[in-house]
Amino acid sequence: MQAIEDLGLQNLKVEVDDEGIATVSLNRPDKRNALNAATVEELVSLFTLLPRTGVKAVLLRAEGTHFCAGLDLVEHHREDRSPAEFMHICLRWHEAFNKMEYGGIPVIAALKGAVVGGGLELASSAHVRVADASTYFALPEGQRGLFTGGGATIRVADLVGKARMIDMMLTGRVYKGEEAMAVGLCQYLVEDSEAKAMELARAAAQNPPLTNFAICSAISHMQNMSALDAAYAEAVVAGIVNTQPASRGRLEAFANKTAARVRPD
Ligand code: 1HE
């Protein structure tokens, strides 16, 4: 199998620690981590490979003070793309983000600064979003004369609802802080988003891999199904996950009262 080092990544940095947590960093801080075509190709390659490397969880972060400024507008302007060319660009964004969302490995995003346009599309493909006080969310597509092309109509609408998403795109509304939490753009608002995201990645990595695979792919797939089909698929997934050998010891520990109980902090 290919190794991460063989991918020749230029715009992403990857470090895997001895607990199997991969820290993936967007690494174009001079360009506010704007997503050019090359970076999207690197995301496709990396998230195609990662689920097969034994990595247990991913911390997605960024170099510099902004998480991601979205589509590389300078490249887009320079390339003067045709409709068909840009449609193909969008299909690669979808490929990358679908690999993240459906890959079966928990992806925890540590956010800061601008999480805008395609940057919000990237963040919304992660399974958990952790923001800090500097983090702000926007869809400036309307102002730029553009439209979302990296899945926001699905994922951002899912997070905040159709009316809020339309407002964000039409008026350039920016969300941050408690308000961003309240509307569902992030699930945690903390002082140090990277430390918290790492803590969450380590917690998730304690679950059996098959369980995380189900959590980080089945729920998304089931949302695309009718309720009847989703219930059927849920039963099939639970049939496999809930009888796996890795859960036997955990169930035994509960039964013999050695397992931790569920308590509020
Ligand atoms: C960029 C980009 C970019 C920065 N593409 N190069 N996204 C946007 O509309 C957001 C555009 N960016 C900004 O509003 C600001 O840059 C930020 C608020 C993110 C950061 O501001 P600041 O003052 O820290 O940086 P800056 O001076 O604006 O930019 C620094 C450099 O980053 C500069 O390059 P330089 O070579 O002149 O130093 C900028 O050109 C570069 N840069 N953002 C290219 N986005 C699949 S469809 C998705 C559609 C969308 O994503 S629309 C939303 C696009």
**Residues in the ligand 1 pocket, defined by CB under 6 Å:** 30-32, 34, 66, 69-74, 90, 93, 114, 116-118, 140-141, 144, 146, 148-150
**121 is known as an active-site residue:** yes
Helix axis angle, 162-171 to 152-160, nearest 10°: 110
| One domain, residues 124 and 163 | yes
Ligand 1, atom 31: nearest CA belongs to which residue? 31
Q: Is the ipTM of this complex over 0.95?
A: yes
CATH code of 151's domain? 3.90.226.10
Which phi and psi angles does 187 have, rounded to 5°?
-105, -15
Number of domains in the chain: 2
| One domain, residues 120 and 10 | yes
| One domain, residues 96 and 124 | yes
| One domain, residues 9 and 41 | yes
| One domain, residues 54 and 176 | yes
Domain-embedded: residue 263: no
Q: Which of 205, 225, 242 is the last residue of a domain?
A: 205
- For residue 265, the model assigns a pLDDT of 85
- For residue 13, the model assigns a pLDDT of 98
Q: What is the pLDDT of residues 107-153, one digit of tens each?
A: 999 999 999 999 999 999 999 999 999 999 999 999 999 999 999 99
Q: How far is the CA of 115 from the centre of ligand 1 (A)?
A: 11
Alpha helices in 52-208 (DSSP H): 73-79, 83-102, 118-123, 141-144, 152-160, 162-171, 177-183, 193-205
| One domain, residues 151 and 115 | yes
Domain-embedded: residue 265: no
Domain-embedded: residue 240: yes
| One domain, residues 191 and 227 | no
Strand-pair category, 107-110 with 57-62 = parallel
| One domain, residues 198 and 222 | no
Domain-embedded: residue 94: yes
Options 5, 19, 63, 141, the catalytic residue = 141
**141 is known as an active-site residue:** yes
92: containing domain = 4-205
Pocket test for ligand 1, best of 28, 31, 90 (most atoms within 8 A of CB): 31
Ligand 1, atom 34: nearest CA belongs to which residue? 31
| One domain, residues 183 and 99 | yes
Domain-embedded: residue 264: no
Asked if 109 and 126 count as a contact pair (C-beta separation under 8 A), the reply is yes
| One domain, residues 220 and 196 | no
| One domain, residues 201 and 213 | no
Domain-embedded: residue 16: yes
Q: How far is the CA of 34 from the centre of ligand 1 (A)?
A: 6
264 exposure class (CB count in 10 Å sphere: 0-12, 13-18, 19+): exposed
- For residue 1, the model assigns a pLDDT of 80
Domain-embedded: residue 260: no
Q: Which of 187, 205, 223 is the last residue of a domain?
A: 205
Domain-embedded: residue 13: yes
CATH code of 213's domain? 1.10.12.10
Using 50 as the pLDDT threshold, list the residues of the chain that sit under it: none
| One domain, residues 105 and 167 | yes
